[in-house]
A and B are shown apart, each in its own frame.
Chain A
Amino acid sequence: MMIEPPPPHARDDAPHSAPRGNGMNAYVLAAATSPPVATEHYRRLEELIYETSRRALDTAGVSRGQLDHITIGACDELDGRPISSMLMAAPAGGFATDEMKVTDSGASALCLGYARLRSGDVHIGLVTSWCKSSKTDVEAVMRLRGDPFFTRPLAIGALETDALFAQAVSEEYGITEDEVGRRVVLAYARAARNARGMRHREPTLVEVKSSSYEATPLRSAQRAPLTDGAVSMVLASDRFLKANPDCKPLARVAGAGWATDSYRISATRLRSMESARTAWHSALSQAGLSAAKDLDVIELECQTGYHEAAYVRAFGITDESVISPSGGAFAQNPLFCTGLVNAAEAVLQVSGTAGGVQRPNARWAAAHSCHGYAQQGNVVVMFEAIAG
């Protein structure tokens, strides 16, 4: 057997560095989210997905026939049918092309889609994710995640694990109810400026602080309301852009980091936020950035105000003006794909097309997603503006 010589970018030198000048870049040509709605009564899930993917393709100026792959982020249990991608693949653009599905989160699908382009085997693809949370007993699905021996008998779902997380990070970081309330009020205020969001009524600090307890210490108004939605992105390689000069990228994917913590919902795990930190630093490193201060926008997935308080500290975010200009989950929150919605918002920011929530001169943006019991898994994707 002949052995090839080590490549010039040997792994030990740059284990995760994203390319820029070697022709293996991934670009976002378009990002589309479905119109915000709490309960989608009028369109089946297939229609919601089709319309969103169609809009992404049309915006990108790419036909479905040009696609050489799609990557889906979807959850059978939330969709209410086994192998839900059988029905949903075609509406998502997946016919006569290479399709893969990941089940962790929409943002996880973006990570795989990014890797597929970097592999050099494929050059133009869609990443699509969705969740019709109104049609699903979300808490029942979350309780089904419990192992049958220890966790399930406790009957804990997303609410209870979010509350455990809130307890743990409150003790770890000294987070107060005042801070949480302030963050929730500000998130709703930002979301109110986002035309792609629900534009929920903005609560007052008193309303948040006096809302009913749902699971100690979580209060109802501290939690982001669930919505229905779909999100789709068109990703392309250098080679595709060279062959299709009319297609103009909105952003370069500069890095993608993801990690998942232990299944055990222990105080140690909850306090450490290890997978969040790992994903964050991996993505930063790939993008050639050193810290949160290098970013103009950081779209965080925060299902509660406690989450924002915790992630701000875990990621070392000192400039609060960069946090979730879109309003994040308080703008729209189709649960499984909220992180990919964040990615779409981050792309719009660095392309200067974020509308009423546009940050001035946004060049670097991060999108964060979390998934699983008490944020067991975390994803961070970095986007860079296209020069010129």
Chain B
Amino acid sequence: MTQTVAVLGAYQSDFRTHIPDHTFVEQAQLAAVGALADAGMAGDDIDAFVFSLAPTHFMGVADADRWAIDHIFAAGKPIFRVHTGGATGGSAVQAGYTLVRSGMFRSVMIVGAERIAETPDAQEVLNLIFDVFYERDMPLSTNTTVGLWTTRYLHRFGQTQEDLARIAVRARRNAMKNPHAHLKGEITVADVMASKVIAYPLKLFDICPRSSGSAAMILGNMEMAKRYCSRPAFINGAAGVTDTYWIGDRLSPTSKFEFVDLGPAAPAARACYARAGISDPTRQIQVAELYDPYTVMYPVQLEQMGFCAPGTALRLDKEGFWDMDGAVAVNPSGGTLCTNPIAVSGLVRAIDAANQVMGRAGAMQVAGVRNAVSTAVGGIAQFFNCTVFGAEPYWAGGHA
């Protein structure tokens, strides 16, 4: 028998470029303590841990999760670290979900911290993810690659840079209601267009910041949910799909997945929805917290995850479909465009989605949320995962 999995509590720090007042392990501890307090639990109530930590090259301490073990109350307990690049936080949530759902543990804490600004230039590290023989000399970087992706998307669907700029404008505006967001404020399309070109057609405001901070989420089975949470969110669906490493192999007519479509998103969403009983995402899901470190990733995910037809997300955006009071509230938090602590970005997306279901989203709260979905993307759009949080547990036979 598999177990129902509930979100019992969560914590996220305020995010900013540098965290000079805490060490890495203190950041992790703040998150662990915060999540325990939110759930009304103590360290001994946690059976197992999953540490969410992407490349440690940013920080310069290998396997830094081990350093944090004493600080997160995990010493002597089951713990492992999950690392799937930018998708890490989403994968970590899904690993924690697996440990509870399998019946192996009653409660699991997913916790992580990021201090990406310890390295003078994160791009120097990220440039090393490209293949040393073929692709690194192109010269590909995360920015240039997504620049190519954006050009291809805009060309294919006849959209403009201004259409994408509206995504950044909305993100910064939404983030003004998010006390934890790194970037926030009123900007205009003209501001986005006038910001420095990083990799054509991407401007500075099309791209996420380098954020540091920490986050934690506590999951439990139904027994723990009854004991600790009056209004839990339930993880009703979780899925992930991996694409090829080779970008060139995503661009040919025979490619299984097309690069511009963020190929793994559609099959992952289908699998996730099937598990969660979602047949019409636009009607059944009220909030989407998308992993969107670049503006182009916002419309692509909406289209590939079944919220609208390919090429229509930006047009619908003009009509307010993705506003807080639109058909689906997309990234009420401001999303990854405003805050990107890589190690925990996917975890923060999941926390923001779960909080909406639990009615704990504060000023970001959308009314009447029954289902919310979060995503995470890693590698060069190679790893994709998504998780559906529901107000009620779902079984294959229907809602309880």
Among B101-109, B163-171, B361-369, the stretch that binds chain A is B101-109
Q: Are A7 and B80 in contact (CB under 8 A)?
A: no
Contacts of B131 in A (CB 8 A): 87
Contacts of A278 in B (CB 8 A): 76-77
Within 8 A of B (CB), among A106-154: 108, 111-112, 115-116, 118-121, 141-142, 144-149
Contacts of A76 in B (CB 8 A): 55-57, 83
Q: Are A260 and B74 in contact (CB under 8 A)?
A: yes
Residue in B2, B77, B241 whose CB lies within 8 Å of A97? B241
Among B12-20, B34-42, B61-69, B314-322, the stretch that binds chain A is B61-69
Contacts of B185 in A (CB 8 A): none
Residue in B3, B68, B70, B379 whose CB lies within 8 Å of A83? B379
Q: Are A94 and B80 in contact (CB under 8 A)?
A: no
Q: How far is the CA of A104 from the CA of B81 in the complex (A)?
A: 6
Q: Does A308 contact B (CB under 8 A)?
A: no
Q: Are B78 and A1 in contact (CB under 8 A)?
A: no
Contacts of A148 in B (CB 8 A): 60-61
Q: Are B245 and A90 in contact (CB under 8 A)?
A: yes
Contacts of A275 in B (CB 8 A): 76
Within 8 A of A (CB), among B121-179: 125-126, 128-129, 131
Q: How far is the CA of A147 from the CA of B26 in the complex (A)?
A: 13
Residue in B53, B60, B99, B244 whose CB lies within 8 Å of A115? B99
Q: Are A4 and B75 in contact (CB under 8 A)?
A: no
Q: How far is the CA of A101 from the CA of B53 in the complex (A)?
A: 11
Contacts of B25 in A (CB 8 A): 147
Most chain B beta-carbon neighbours within 10 Å: one of A1, A22, A377: A1
Q: Are A101 and B84 in contact (CB under 8 A)?
A: yes
Known A9-B103, A119-B98, A260-B69; judge A145-B63 contact (CB<8 A).
Answer: yes
Closest to B86 in A: A83
Within 8 A of B (CB), among A247-263: 256-263
Q: Does B95 contact A (CB under 8 A)?
A: yes
Q: How far is the CA of A119 from the CA of B223 in the complex (A)?
A: 17
Q: Are A100 and B94 in contact (CB under 8 A)?
A: yes
Q: How far is the CA of A142 from the CA of B392 in the complex (A)?
A: 46
Q: Does A24 contact B (CB under 8 A)?
A: yes
Residue in A16, A98, A263 whose CB lies within 8 Å of B66? A263
Q: Are A96 and B242 in contact (CB under 8 A)?
A: yes
Closest to A99 in B: B242
Q: Does B187 contact A (CB under 8 A)?
A: no
Q: Does B341 contact A (CB under 8 A)?
A: no
- Chain A interface, number of residues (Cβ within 8 angstroms): 73
Q: How far is the CA of A210 from the CA of B244 in the complex (A)?
A: 52
Q: Are B98 and A145 in contact (CB under 8 A)?
A: no
Within 8 A of A (CB), among B374-393: 378-380, 382-383, 385, 391-393
| Per-residue contact bits, chain B 252-293, to A (CB 8 Å; 1 contact, 0 not) | 000011000000100110010001000000000000000000
Q: How far is the CA of A90 from the CA of B382 in the complex (A)?
A: 11
Known A1-B392, A4-B222, A278-B76; judge A77-B62 contact (CB<8 A).
Answer: yes
Q: Does B231 contact A (CB under 8 A)?
A: yes
Q: How far is the CA of A146 from the CA of B268 in the complex (A)?
A: 38
Q: Are A103 and B240 in contact (CB under 8 A)?
A: no
Known A76-B56, A83-B378; judge A3-B226 contact (CB<8 A).
Answer: yes
Residue in A22, A116, A144 whose CB lies within 8 Å of B60? A144
Q: Are B2 and A120 in contact (CB under 8 A)?
A: yes
Q: How far is the CA of A278 from the CA of B48 in the complex (A)?
A: 12
Q: How far is the CA of A373 from the CA of B61 in the complex (A)?
A: 13
Closest to A255 in B: B104
Q: How far is the CA of A99 from the CA of B67 in the complex (A)?
A: 26
Residue in B83, B84, B91, B102 whose CB lies within 8 Å of A119? B102
List, sorted by A's number, 12 A–B pairs whose CB atoms are closer than 8 Å: A2-B399, A7-B222, A75-B63, A83-B378, A83-B379, A89-B242, A89-B382, A100-B94, A104-B63, A116-B102, A146-B61, A261-B75
Q: B residues engaging A (CB < 8 A)?
A: 1-4, 23, 25, 47, 53-57, 60-63, 65-70, 74-85, 91, 94-95, 97-99, 101-106, 125-126, 128-129, 131, 221-223, 226, 231, 238-245, 256-257, 264, 267-268, 271, 275, 378-380, 382-383, 385, 391-393, 399-400
Q: A residues engaging B (CB < 8 A)?
A: 1-4, 6-12, 15-16, 19, 22, 24, 75-77, 81-83, 85-87, 89-90, 94-104, 108, 111-112, 115-116, 118-121, 141-142, 144-149, 256-264, 274-275, 278-279, 282, 372-373, 376-377
User: Given A4-B393, A24-B102, A119-B102, 20 other A-B contacts at CB below 8 A?
Assistant: A2-B392, A75-B63, A82-B129, A85-B85, A86-B85, A86-B245, A86-B379, A90-B245, A96-B257, A100-B82, A103-B81, A116-B102, A118-B2, A120-B102, A121-B98, A149-B23, A260-B69, A261-B76, A263-B70, A377-B66
